[in-house]
């Protein structure tokens, strides 16, 4: 990395080298039989150079030809992409925790053993199909730049996703557990999964109309996707955000607080700098319904004449090479602050409503404007405080800025989500539900 940085420094005003190595393996089981095993090691290097107020980028999977990588970065300057920021220098960044080495040494036998324990615990309690997906991953990342920054971190995690499929369908209820230590799937979560599955076995019709709707932790991302888009520095710079010029205003329910804190010791992938080397800290976007802060990387912080917020990440959403993507504004290690109502009491308080267990089509609609229209996959119908069964066909639609003003309650417990982040269930009032 240092050789590459020195080469790039000779032909630019500033330079940065980013490296990453991902080592992962996963196992999928259906009713106790392995259906898929995979292992991969991905590594790469990204080079960014600043010259004459412009930015050039290039990446490679190896460093066999450093001269070509520098040449490609210089060629990309012809795109005349402006950049007024500078790469950050050294700062007082705490030493990262060292991950559990037992995760690094986990093999398929270990994944199989952990998955089988979850499956054996559930088997016999339900008659449906049981899928268990387990995985482990280790990431090494480093950043070096001409401002004197030279930092690195290593993270490791494992997860198990247990799914119970309803008879003759691919529709399932799921529970997700992740850890930065080698651990079994908690039995308490498996008991909750079995109870949820059992309550959804009957198929029922849902009436069309406006009613109460619960978004579970696995589906909250439907709304967070839209909030993240509107609070990104990119949308503010382009003046396309519906929250433009509304900072410090109450725009959502006072029960709603959204923040990210990669420094929290409870975070699975705790870290103290983002993918640009900017120190991280707790970053609150909405506090008790008030729109507080934007999500910024170095580029948009400069364009908006604001301080960077330690939220610049090379995020891969639907697969791809991490090093191929530039750092973009992204709220990492996100959380919705918990409320004061248990999930069970939340359901008991519903006279008529729907629990959104899974969604189809979260990517559709005008995301930036906050609109959503998602299919229930599955959804449960609740009447007089009791789950009546699984909805045959149904949809939930609305605008995130409208429905999040009508929060009736928020669960008092946080759950890891397969989509990233840690969230409670949220009960909303007066949401549009349609039967197909």
Q: Provide the H-helix boundaries in 37-143.
A: 66-76, 101-104, 108-122
Tokens of 423: 């969230």
What is the distance between the terminal CA atoms of the chain, rounded to a whole angstrom? 57
Name all domains of the chain by residue range, CATH numbers in brackets: 2-197 (3.30.2290.10), 202-436 (no CATH)
- DSSP-assigned letter for residue 252: S
Per-residue b/e over 171-184, b at no fewer than 16 CB within 10 Å? bbbbbbbbbbebee
> Which of 33, 31, 37, 34 lies closest to 172 in space, CA to CA?
31
Residue 220 tokens read as 């909250």
What count of other Cβ atoms lies within 10 Å of the Cβ of residue 89?
A: 11
Kindly state the DSSP code that residue 166 receives in the 8-state scheme: P
CA–CA dist 330, 262 (Å, integer):
12
With b meaning 16 or more CB within 10 Å and e meaning fewer, what string describes 297-325? bbbbbbbeeeebbbbbbbeeeeeeebbeb
Which residues are CB-neighbours of 4 under 8 A, at least 6 positions away?
17, 45, 47, 63, 66, 69, 70
pLDDT tens for the chain, residues 1 to 436? 999 999 999 999 999 999 999 999 999 999 989 999 999 999 999 999 999 999 999 999 988 899 999 999 999 999 999 999 999 999 888 776 667 788 888 899 999 999 999 999 999 898 889 999 999 999 999 999 999 999 999 999 999 999 999 988 889 999 999 998 888 999 999 999 999 999 999 999 888 999 999 999 999 999 999 999 999 999 999 999 999 999 999 999 999 999 999 999 888 888 999 999 999 999 999 999 999 999 999 999 999 999 999 999 998 765 668 888 899 999 999 999 999 999 999 999 999 999 999 999 888 889 999 999 999 999 999 999 999 999 988 999 999 999 999 999 999 999 999 888 999 999 999 999 998 7
| pLDDT given for residue 317 in this prediction | 63
Residue 56 C-alpha from the chain's centroid? 28
**8 A C-beta contact, residue 295 and residue 285:** yes
Asked, as a colleague might, if the bond just before 378 is cis with ω within 30 of 0, I would say yes
Beta strands in 7-149, from DSSP E residues, in sequence order = 14-30, 33-51, 54-60, 129-145
Residues 6+ positions from 9 with CB-CB distance below 8 Å:
15, 146
Three-class DSSP category at 31: coil
Among the listed residues 152, 131, 155, the one whose alpha carbon sits nearest the alpha carbon of residue 143: 152
103 backbone φψ class: left, alpha, beta (φ>0; ψ -120 to 50): alpha
Cis amide bond preceding 118, omega within 30: no
Phi, psi of 162 (to 5 degrees): -110, 130
Q: Residues 429, 395: contact at Cβ < 8 Å?
A: no
Bridge partners of 334, per DSSP, are 260
Residue in this structure with the two tokens 């990119």, named with its chain if needed: 234
Beta bridge partners of 49: 15, 56
Neighbours of 368 (CB within 10 A): 16
Report how far residue 317's alpha carbon sits from residue 72's, in angstroms, rounded to the nearest whole number: 26
The pairing of strands 150-165 and 312-313 is unpaired
Report pLDDT for 70: 96
């Amino acid at each position: 990395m240092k050789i590459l940085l020195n080469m790039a420094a000779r032909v630019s005003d500033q330079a940065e080298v980013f490296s990453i190595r991902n080592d992962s393996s996963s196992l999928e089981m259906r009713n106790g039989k392995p259906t898929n095993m995979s292992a991969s090691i991905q590594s790469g290097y990204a080079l960014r150079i600043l010259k004459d107020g412009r930015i050039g980028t290039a990446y490679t999977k190896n460093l066999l030809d450093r001269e070509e990588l520098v040449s490609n970065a210089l060629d990309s300057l012809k795109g005349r992409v402006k950049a007024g920021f500078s790469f950050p220098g050294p700062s007082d960044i705490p030493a990262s925790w060292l991950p559990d080495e037992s995760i690094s040494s986990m093999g398929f036998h270990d994944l199989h053993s952990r998955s089988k324990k979850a499956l054996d615990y559930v088997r016999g309690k339900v008659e449906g199909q049981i899928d268990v997906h387990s995985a482990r991953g280790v990431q090494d990342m480093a950043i070096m730049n001409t401002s004197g920054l030279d930092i690195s971190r290593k993270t490791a995690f494992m997860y198990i996703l247990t799914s119970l499929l309803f008879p003759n369908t691919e529709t399932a209820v799921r529970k997700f557990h992740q850890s930065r230590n080698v651990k079994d799937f908690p039995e308490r979560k498996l008991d909750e999964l079995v109870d949820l599955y059992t309550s959804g076995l009957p198929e029922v019709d849902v009436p069309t109309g406006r009613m109460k709707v619960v978004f579970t932790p696995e589906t909250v991302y439907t709304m967070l996707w839209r909030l993240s888009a509107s609070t990104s520095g990119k949308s503010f710079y382009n003046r396309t955000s519906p929250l433009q010029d509304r900072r410090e205003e109450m725009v959502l329910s006072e029960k709603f607080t959204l923040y990210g804190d990669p420094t929290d010791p409870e975070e699975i992938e705790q870290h103290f700098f983002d993918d640009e080397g900017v120190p991280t800290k707790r970053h609150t976007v909405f506090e008790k319904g008030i729109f507080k802060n934007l999500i910024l990387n170095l580029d948009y912080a400069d364009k908006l004449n604001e301080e960077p917020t330690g939220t610049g990440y090379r995020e891969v959403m639907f697969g791809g090479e991490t090093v191929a993507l530039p750092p973009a504004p992204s709220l990492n290690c996100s959380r919705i602050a918990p409320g004061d109502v248990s999930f069970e009491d939340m359901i008991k308080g519903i006279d008529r409503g729907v629990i959104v267990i899974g969604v189809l089509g979260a990517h559709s609609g005008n995301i930036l404007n906050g609109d959503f229209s998602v299919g229930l996959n599955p959804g449960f119908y609740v009447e007089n405080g009791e789950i009546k069964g699984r909805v045959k066909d149904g949809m939930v639609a609305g605008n995130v800025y409208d429905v999040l003003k009508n929060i009736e309650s928020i669960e008092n417990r946080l759950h890891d989500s397969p989509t990233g982040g840690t969230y409670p269930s949220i009960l909303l009032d007066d949401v549009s539900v349609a039967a197909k």
